[in-house]
Structure 1
Amino acid sequence: MFPRPIEQQSRSVQVGYQALLPIALILWLLPLIAVMIFSIKPDSDFVQGNFWGLPSSFEFFNNYGKVFFESDMPRYLWNSVVITVPTVIGTVALACMTGFALGVYRFKGNLFIFFMFIAGNFVPFQILMVPVRDLTVSMNLYDTKLGLILFHIAFQTGFCTLFMRNFIRALPFPLIEAARVEGVAEWRIFWFVVMPLMKPAIAALSVLIFTFIWNDYFWAVVLTQGPDAQPVTAGITAFNSQFRAAYHLMSAGSIVAALPPVAMFFLMQKHFIAGLTLGAVK
């Protein structure tokens, strides 16, 4: 039923696998490589149609200097930090509490509430564009960082609750029963018994939500406009003018915008993998 490991295949299959793997890796990384090459090209290369050839000159410091010192890119980056960090904290905090309530307590309507959280994940977010925008306008939250933060927290809590509830259900319930027998209050059980066991899940979920929010482009364009509240994903388009696009600056800005999620993953890699694989083996 399952494919045989490559070590158990014939020598010809192993050689073919070893030859095709680097090619597949290069093809997968080709768009990123192209953006990196674009980011060090001079503007004249794009005017002359040299899109895929070698750069006529090395403009790394010139292009990235313009991105950082001659544009609003630092402001967009700061907006992304201000939007993403509170969203991650708020979403994970709400998911921990709702996951604890739905995973530990047995009450009427438990499954219905849980299914409502799940159902929200299957709603196409494009159909919410008009009502969400009208709601933010009516609440005076349009084109504000707070409006984007509140929307992301509300929209991501469903998936996070699904993740946390299932994780908490897999924890040994006798630990909670033993704490209750000792007379420990419910909030202390949550904080001192359950929360320490949830650290791998919290780390994994934080990395996922950080990546989702930081890379969001759709809602950044729908709910914000201008450098006062727009995150970096939407701010990159500011390098486009009415009649031409500064591809070299857009590419440099894209590389800069991609660095925080990559750094976040590598910093939390140990906890992220532990959270995803916890419970995979008995």
Structure 2
Amino acid sequence: MRAKKIVFYILATIIVLLWIAPFMISFFTSFKSMDELMLTRKWWAPPKKWFPSNFITAWKDANMGRYFLNTFIITIPSVLGALFLSSLSAYALAWYKFRLSKLILMIFVGGMLIPFQMLLIPVYRFSVSLGIYDRFIGVILFHIAFQLGFCTFFLRNFMKTIPASIFDAAMIDGAGHFTIYSKIVMPLVLPALAALGILEFTWIWNDYLWSLILIQSDKIKPITLGLVNLQGQWITSWNTMAAGAIIAAVVPLFVFLLFQRYFIEGLTVGSVKG
């Protein structure tokens, strides 16, 4: 038994080190000079001389202040819209009994299994035909649409754990459907909603694919596209690009650390009965 524990901890440590290695390399790279990066092969080693100025260069050269604002403009409405619409659809699929409920749920789940690469050309043509290409509203609407399936599936499973007697008592007291949804269901699934909100915020903030397809103007690009400005024509300043990537990762990391209690609570809610 002791040997199994030792083997388990050794394997777990190796996996953690392999997982965290790219982040440490990026962190060290962001503080190195280009001379050190070009002249040494020890790209995994800490810098011989630290250059915090790389972060200032990344912020100024990539115009990251504007890109941060654009990312917030895209991310916050997308997360709120996805959570609101998915909570409504999850409530309907969890508690309303109608003929096509299972089929609709299967469509939501099936949409999650379609590779995004298959949808690139249709989404691009559809956005152009609607006149929402290269606009904030276009990216926001498509983020909401593509996140709706997972969010609905996630929240519907949590809503199914709520005892039906609560709804029956509310109906007897004369509460309407929207009153039950807003006053009873939403407070009960708030931990799950918070956990889902953190996931959605992280995914949409870090999105690169849909922003690349739906945005062309530099003035509305998010931070993930803005980092491309740090890539030169003949040579790329990898230290500056690594610094910009770390700056871009600060916000989702801060959001997770700030709301991690709700995230853990949302993942474990319903795991213990009684």
TM-score band w.r.t. shorter chain = over 0.9
| Alpha-carbon distance, 1:102 to partner | 1.1
| Distance in 1 between residues matched to 2:7 and 2:122, nearest whole Å | 53
Deviations 1:27-49, CA, capped at 9 Å, x for gaps: 22110000000000112223435
Q: Alignment length, in residue pairs?
A: 272
Kindly indicate whether residue 99 of structure 2 is the aligned counterpart of residue 108 of structure 1.
Answer: yes
| Distance in 2 between residues matched to 1:181 and 1:125, nearest whole Å | 46
Kindly indicate whether residue 185 of structure 2 is the aligned counterpart of residue 194 of structure 1.
Answer: yes
Q: Among residues 167, 181, 189, which one is paired with 1:176 in the alignment?
A: 167
Change (3 A) 1:54 1:176: closer
Give the TM-score normalised by structure 1. Answer: 0.91
Other-structure match for 1:82: 73
The more displaced of 256-265 and 16-25 is: 16-25
Aligned-pair Cα RMSD in Å: 1.7
The more displaced of 41-50 and 178-187 is: 41-50
Where does structure 1 lack aligned partners over 5 or more consecutive residues?
A: 1-8
Other-structure match for 2:236: 245
| Distance in 1 between residues matched to 2:190 and 2:46, nearest whole Å | 47
Other-structure match for 1:136: 127
Deviations 1:5-50, CA, capped at 9 Å, x for gaps: xxxx22x444455555444432221100000000001122234355
Other-structure match for 1:231: 222
Q: Read off the aligned partner of 2:267 and give its amino acid letter.
A: L
CA contact (8 A) 2:68 2:222 kept: yes
Change (3 A) 1:241 1:110: same
| Distance in 2 between residues matched to 1:14 and 1:110, nearest whole Å | 47
Q: Among residues 36, 43, 49, which one is paired with 1:57 in the alignment?
A: 49
Kindly indicate whether residue 260 of structure 2 is the aligned counterpart of residue 275 of structure 1.
Answer: no
Other-structure match for 2:249: 258
| Distance in 2 between residues matched to 1:58 and 1:223, nearest whole Å | 38
| Distance in 2 between residues matched to 1:190 and 1:169, nearest whole Å | 13
| Distance in 1 between residues matched to 2:99 and 2:4, nearest whole Å | 57
Q: Read off the aligned partner of 1:163 and give its amino acid letter.
A: F
Other-structure match for 2:208: 217
Other-structure match for 1:207: 198
| Alpha-carbon distance, 1:209 to partner | 0.7
Three-state SS of the structure 2 residue aligned to 1:55 is coil
Kindly indicate whether residue 15 of structure 2 is the aligned counterpart of residue 27 of structure 1.
Answer: no
Give the TM-score normalised by structure 2. Answer: 0.93
Kindly indicate whether residue 28 of structure 2 is the aligned counterpart of residue 37 of structure 1.
Answer: yes
Change (3 A) 1:13 1:92: same
Other-structure match for 1:154: 145
| Distance in 2 between residues matched to 1:57 and 1:226, nearest whole Å | 38
Change (3 A) 1:16 1:99: closer
| Alpha-carbon distance, 1:211 to partner | 1.2
Other-structure match for 1:3: none
| Alpha-carbon distance, 1:245 to partner | 0.8
Deviations 1:49-91, CA, capped at 9 Å, x for gaps: 556154342111x111112233311111111111111110000
| Distance in 1 between residues matched to 2:99 and 2:118, nearest whole Å | 32
Q: Read off the aligned partner of 2:127 and give its amino acid letter.
A: T
Other-structure match for 2:117: 126
1:83-98 maps to which residues of 2 (within 5 A)? 83-98=74-89
Change (3 A) 1:184 1:198: same
Runs of 4 or more consecutive aligned structure 1 residues displaced over 6 Å after TM superposition: none
Q: Read off the aligned partner of 2:194 and give its amino acid letter.
A: A
Three-state SS of the structure 1 residue aligned to 2:218 is coil
Q: Read off the aligned partner of 1:254 and give its amino acid letter.
A: A
